[in-house]
Amino acid sequence: MAQPTAEIQQRAEKLRREVQEASYAYYVLDNPIMADEVYDRLYRELQDLEIQYPQLITPDSPTQRVGEKPASQFNSVKHNIPLYSLENAFNIEEFTRWQERWQRVYSADKFEYVCELKIDGSALALTYENGILIRGATRGDGITGEEITQNVKTIRSIPLRLNLDNPPPRIEVRGEAFLGLATFEKINEERAKKGEQLFANPRNAAAGTLRQLDSRIVAERKLDFFAYTLQIPDTDDEAVAARQLECLEKLEEMGFRVNPNRKLCQSLGEVAEYYDEWNTGRLTLPYMTDGVVVKINSVALQKRLGFTQKFPRWAVALKYAAEEAPTLVENISVNVGRTGALTPLAELKPVQLAGTTVSRATLHNIDYVQSLDIRVGDTVIVHKAGEIIPEVVRVLKELRPEKTKPFEMPNHCPVCGEPVFREGGEAVTRCVNASCGAILRGALVHWASRDALDINGLGEKIVAQFVDKKVVTSVADLYYLSVDDIARMERMGKKSAQKLIDGITASKKQPWARVLYGLGIRHVGSVNAKTLTEKFKNVDQLAGAKISEIEGVYGIGFEIAQAVFDWFRVEGNQQLIERLKGAGLQLANQEPTGVKEGKPAKLALSGKTFVITGTLPSLKRDEAKARIENAGGKVTGSVSAKTDYVVVGEDAGSKLQKAEELGISQLDEAQLLQLLED
């Protein structure tokens, strides 16, 4: 076997470091530091060197994330530290009783709670030796689990090597593997196309994925991970982190992704506020959460309280209302959306679910209906997880009445009566009549939505009147309406009409990215629209771009590129763009104030690097990060000599200590806001 030279060994080590840093920035910090093409080239160079010189392969090499051969089975392993489950409380009253119980064990006059979102996924136990990941295991029964290290290595937000200069001999990390909602939906779409049984929910999909024997399949499904517990055996826990918040910060410094939606609470009342806030706030999250985990912040107090036979006394899961319930299917109707998609809906006997009364549930498409074999009269299990319209996940066929009939999708659009089509390879049946009232109503509501043109006063009721009375036939018509046109609508006087005209006129100032999103092109969300408009500065550039040019934009795939290209080839859409131009919409990026000789204006915090530590008085961490980045600054997860400012909140941890050691400038929230204002 050929031996690598010292120069080749150094090159391999540098490549490993560069690829690891790029992967950490992309998957954990969500802040890419290099283009995909550059990453791919560096990765392939490292891979080629390891193929030529196998002795260069290390356990923490990025090339070792996916195994070459499927495992034959999983082995049971005993956890080095047991994984206890949490006691449940289902309302603040039960939480109060939990607090009274632990205070009977040890009465503490002064204490704090840390609230963290309870991620609905699968618990993992990770073991690191000398900073290298050596084992990943499922929770199992808490004492033993299944060893799935090769699958764990495919999760990009789990570091193969910890970001520590002198790591302890052994570190144990606990956290939750999960599937984001968008990823889950994509997986089910692919399974539907292949005729495979759909996953009932992201939690089941994550658990099933982790137990795949072929780690290449696991890698394709793109699991994510949030870390929440750090344990270092044979070390005083308080010396490592005296508080739970410090523990979370240390996990971030080590290279883990930690959920940012955590809060230090000084009282039961503050816990109740956090719990109530996220009961609705969780509906906007890109992943599932079914409650709040409340932990006593002090590690010393945790030790004093200890454990019962089943649970830690110092933590509790404050769960939200049940998300599954049985009910009867009274009818199956079909809804037509703004893209023409026909969606079967189960009309249900009203049932209480997650704090609301549910009377409808989505059935997605005909494949989903057929896979469940759902019929009118069936008793079904309805599930609600972060969606406005719940879905049916199971049919209790043993309760099915006699003489029920399978559901059939209509051959004609229930709104306009035109024939419907289902393209090969697609699960969705569509109406393709551009004049269909349902499509037009959906397009107008989307155009007026907050993330698009944000037209105040243009809601579903007035849109329905515009369409039904043929006052508006496209979004462009909105900009040619008069006060009298609107005042003739039901419940609309001159004053209300003028307000709506003012809202429509104000929307002309919305930037090019919002207009592009408002056009409702398939697969183009608000983020993709912004990405595209950064590359294509005006509508003519985008309309004239080739598919390869659109796909070449960082973050844009072939499916999006094809959809954008096809949309601009339709004559009716070309006419729409011309009418929007004539109405004065922003179909090009506006140069910022201060641009000279073609050079972009320099933002206030350009080139400055920030680290945020502790809990700020009013700003959430994500909000503070967004404000800094909007001003041109960069926010990182760890303090280094390259850090310009550390923003310090209450209960700041080791990052503050490191900043003091390095002499880095510190800001409180007020000083940060002043800096941003200046």
Percent of the chain with pLDDT over 90: 39
Count of residues in the chain: 678
Please say if the pLDDT value at position 418 is more than 80. Answer: yes
pLDDT of res. 386 = 45
Residue for token pair 């006059």 = 109
CA distance 175 to 122: 8
- Identity of the residue numbered 644: D
Helices (H), ranges, 241-390? 244-254, 268-281, 299-305, 366-372
Is 361 in a helix, a strand, or coil? strand
Catalytic residue among 14, 78, 110, 118: 118
Residue 44 parent element (H or E): helix 36-52
Mean pLDDT of the 259-270 span: 93
**Which tokens belong to 200?**
């009932």
What letter does residue 603 receive in the DSSP assignment?
P
Is residue 508 part of the annotated active site? The answer reads no
Listed residue (157, 84, 498, 530) closest to 311, CA to CA:
84
* Count of beta carbons in the 10 Å neighbourhood of residue 503: 17
Mean pLDDT of the 8-17 span: 84
Q: What is the pLDDT of residues 431-473, one digit of tens each?
A: 877 678 898 999 999 999 988 999 988 988 999 999 999 999 9
Q: What is the pLDDT of residues 590-613, one digit of tens each?
A: 765 444 444 444 567 878 889 898
Q: What is the pLDDT of residues 295-324, one digit of tens each?
A: 999 999 998 888 876 788 999 999 887 667
CA 402 centroid distance within chain:
43
Q: What is the pLDDT of residues 79-126, one digit of tens each?
A: 888 888 888 888 899 899 999 999 988 888 889 999 999 998 899 999
CA distance 451 to 670: 29
pLDDT of res. 388 = 54
Long-range contacts of 30-33, Cβ-Cβ distance < 8 Å, separation of 24 or more: 31/634, 31/635, 31/636, 32/554
The model scores a pTM over 0.75: no
Q: Helix (H) and strand (E) counts for the chain? A: 25, 22
Largest CA distance in the chain: 87
**Which tokens belong to 54?**
């196998």
**Which tokens belong to 97?**
């009783």
Please say whether the beta carbons of 646 and 613 come within 8 A: yes
Cα torsion 221, 222, 226, 227: sign: positive
Average pLDDT, the chain: 85
pLDDT of res. 33 = 74
CA distance 649 to 263: 12
* Count of beta carbons in the 10 Å neighbourhood of residue 377: 16
